[in-house]
Structures are given as structure tokens and as C-alpha cells.
């Protein structure tokens, strides 16, 4: 895992565990985990992760925006999907090693009625469409996540 990914995962963890109202608090929290970061880097991380500052009854707090977090997840998944293939009855997704279960779970959580289910192996996801007619639409959604649609 890259240093950036580790740092951004830790930022998400910190935000889910405690109230952070300023950059200085996050810098200190990260330092407590052995990560030194500048405010400029933290600002870029917040933008990439979709962290927003909002009002709460206890004052302003940084939180993950659900909409921005969803776009961030799409971008990350786009890097994990290597290839999408289809035939007359199924869609197969090739992923980075070990990432197929996460990709399969994400696709299931889309809640699409045209997908009966997925099976995630180690680096391959099998997507079972509700009908053969749904295959082009399913493939288009996956290509969009991949950043090619």
C-alpha cells in the first residue's frame, strides 16, 4: 500500500472515530500515528476524499461527504478494473490481484435490477445479468466506473 493510500485510509478512520474541526487537529492526529503531513498535502487529501466542513450542534466538523466519497470510490475501483469482457450470457471483469471480491461487492451494492448477482474470485468477477438484453447496459455501467464510458 502506498504512503498516500495509507494516509488517506487513516484520515477516513480518524474522521469516523472523533470530531475534527481544524487542520491542525488532523495534523496532530496523523502525527500520533507516525505520519507527518503538511497542511497543503492534507488539503489535497481532503479534496480527493470528499471531506467537507459542516456545522454541527457542537461546532464545525470535518466529515466525509457521501456524494464525494462515492465518486472517490468509483475512481479507485476504476484503477482496480483491468478489463471487461462479455459474451451472450455473462459479463466477466478482470481486476488487480486480490481485488475481485471488493469489486463484486461494490457492483452488488449498486442495487441494479438488471444484475442478479456477482461472484468475486481472486482477480475475476462474474456478473450474472437478469437477461441477455441487459448485458450492454451492465457493461456500460462497469466501463463508466472504469473511467472508459
User: Which range marks the domain in which residue 98 is found?
Assistant: 80-146
Q: What is the CATH number of the domain that holds 97?
A: 3.30.1360.40
Shared-domain flag, residues 18 and 56: yes
Among candidate residues 84, 73, 98, the one with its CA nearest the CA of residue 127: 84
Residue 73 covered by a domain = no
Encode the chain (149 residues) as per-residue pLDDT tens digits. Answer: 688 888 988 888 888 888 899 889 999 999 999 999 998 889 888 887 878 888 888 888 888 765 555 555 666 677 889 999 999 999 999 998 888 988 898 898 888 999 999 999 999 999 999 999 999 999 999 998 887 66
Q: pTM for the full model?
A: 0.55
Which H or E run includes 105?
Answer: helix 100-109
**Look-up: residue for cell 457493461?**
139
**How many independent structural domains does the chain possess?**
2
What's the rounded Cα separation, in Å, for the pair 78 and 59? 36
Shared-domain flag, residues 41 and 85: no
**Look-up: residue for cell 462479455?**
86
Shared-domain flag, residues 58 and 90: no
Shared-domain flag, residues 141 and 84: yes
Amino acid at each position: 500500500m502506498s504512503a498516500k493510500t495509507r494516509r488517506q485510509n487513516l484520515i477516513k478512520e480518524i474522521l469516523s472515530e472523533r470530531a475534527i474541526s481544524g487542520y491542525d487537529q488532523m495534523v496532530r492526529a496523523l502525527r500520533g500515528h507516525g505520519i507527518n503531513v503538511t497542511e497543503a498535502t492534507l488539503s489535497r487529501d481532503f479534496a480527493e476524499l470528499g471531506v467537507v466542513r459542516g456545522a454541527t450542534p457542537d461546532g464545525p466538523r470535518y466529515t466525509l461527504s457521501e456524494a464525494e466519497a462515492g465518486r472517490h470510490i468509483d475512481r479507485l475501483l476504476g484503477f482496480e478494473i483491468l478489463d471487461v469482457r462479455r459474451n451472450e450470457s455473462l459479463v466477466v471483469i478482470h481486476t488487480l490481484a486480490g481485488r475481485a471480491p471488493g469489486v463484486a461487492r461494490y457492483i452488488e451494492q449498486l442495487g441494479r435490477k438488471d444484475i442478479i448477482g456477482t461472484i468475486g474470485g481472486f482477480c475475476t468477477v462474474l456478473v450474472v445479468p437478469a437477461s441477455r438484453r441487459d448485458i450492454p447496459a451492465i457493461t456500460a455501467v462497469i466501463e463508466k466506473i472504469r473511467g472508459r464510458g
